[in-house]
Amino acid sequence: MEQNFAIAAQWVFLALVKPPEFSSSIDEVDEFYADGEKHCRPLLEKAAAYGEEQGLTVQTEMLHGHPAESLVRYAADRKADLIVMGTHGMGGFKNLVIGSVAQKVVTYSKVPVTIMK
Ligand SMILES: Nc1ncnc2c1ncn2[C@@H]1O[C@H](COP(=O)(O)OP(=O)(O)O)[C@@H](O)[C@H]1O
Ligand SMILES: [Mg+2]
């Protein structure tokens, strides 16, 4: 029987938790990341539950660091076949064709990138 690529693939749903923008003590950085994780965890779990409902094999992961850089490195290290992302995030400037993270990932990733409108 023909295998459906989307079903056979191992999907990793990633939340990229940004560091604080201004220099902070180590404790403050830890607290900042903890808040970020608290915010992201339910979103990630909801997305993973939906993916599983659709028959995907889903793993979730939260990474600390600058989003584009962390994502590009993670995909390369894991030898991912594909990165799938949206055009825009929750903030950002809606008048841009694609957001800054999407733009950086497309520019620097050696792993193929699909941007979903
Ligand atoms: N912190 C993040 N964690 C996970 N995915 C992200 C994150 N930031 C951006 N993305 C991905 O990049 C896409 C584009 O977002 P982005 O370039 O940040 O746009 P904007 O400038 O509107 O925030 C999002 O739809 C999402 O797939
Ligand atoms: Mg963004």
Structural domains of the chain ordered from first start: 1-65 (no CATH), 66-117 (3.40.50.620)
Neighbours of ion ligand 2 (CB under 5 A): 89, 92
d(CA 19, CA 16): 10
Q: How confident is the model at residue 96 (pLDDT cuts 50, 70, 90)?
A: confident
What are the φ and ψ backbone dihedral angles of 116, each rounded to 5 degrees? -90, 125
> Phi, psi at residue 57, to the nearest 5°?
-90, 110
Ligand 1 pocket list (CB less than 6 A): 14-16, 67, 85-89, 91-92, 99-102
Residue bearing tokens 């390369």 = 76
pLDDT at 95: 79
Of the candidates 70, 65, 69, 67, the one whose C-alpha atom is nearest the C-alpha of residue 19 is 65
The alpha carbon of 25 and the centre of ligand 1 are apart by a number of angstroms equal to 26
Q: Which atom of ligand 1 is nearest to the CA of 84?
A: 27
Distance CA 52, CA 35 (A): 26
Q: Which ligand 1 atom minimizes the distance to the CA of 40?
A: 3
User: What distance separates the 2 farthest-apart alpha carbons in the chain?
Assistant: 57
Global pTM reads 0.90
